[in-house]
Amino acid sequence: MPKASSRVRGLDLESVLALPCLAGATVVAGRAGLGRRVTRLNVMEVPDIAAWVKPDELLLTTGYALRQELDTWAQLIADLAHTGLAGVAVKVDRYIDVLPSDMLEEADRLGLPVIELPAEVAFDDVISQVLEAVLETDRDLLTRSDETLRSLLESCSPAVTSSCCVRGSRACSGERSW
């Protein structure tokens, strides 16, 4: 399972791309953004998707909503980049044959990763595996945080008041905490 940062939720996009469900996926633009965090997924069904995405989402699409408007993809990338989206994964060969070059140039300029998905990739597998990996790393982060808190509380002697522990270890040792 990919490793997450010890303090940040989700996974970086590069780790997401290492999951089995994305075998054969290719980053075709925006490589500078592979460190973007993925905490959620979304599926594009409407042309005005930028109004519906949230930061840190990986957007999956077949391109169907814009299959006859390839000249709008570059603007879509610009709009999506401003939302804090983690990346766009497009299944080509079904509704669009080739991603527009101006779209890829805009993605490179903005550092928004664009990923080509192989035809055999099923969105339900991607959604399931990515969310499972994200939830597992988030659970691990919460477990480590809980262990740290328990250790801190156990280190306070019974004679020390709970407010001392809340104020921090400096206050418990008699040091001034300002």
Ranges of the chain with pLDDT below 50: 1-7, 177-178
Q: Does the residue 158 lie in any domain? A: no
Count of domains in the chain? 1
CATH number reported for the structural domain that contains residue 54 in this entry: 3.40.1390.20
Q: Does the residue 53 lie in any domain? A: yes
The residue segments making up the domain with residue 115 are: 11-136
Minimal CA–CA distance to 77: which of 85, 165, 8, 17? 85
Q: Does the residue 113 lie in any domain? A: yes
User: Per residue in 15-47, pLDDT tens?
Assistant: 999 999 999 999 999 999 999 999 999 999 998
Q: How far apart are CA 158 and CA 151, in angstroms?
A: 14
Q: Does the residue 115 lie in any domain? A: yes
Q: How far apart are CA 82 and CA 109, in angstroms?
A: 13
Q: In angstroms, what CA-CA distances link 147 with 88, 139, 151, 153, 171?
A: 36, 12, 6, 10, 21
Q: Does the residue 27 lie in any domain? A: yes
Contact 65, 46 (CB under 8 A): yes
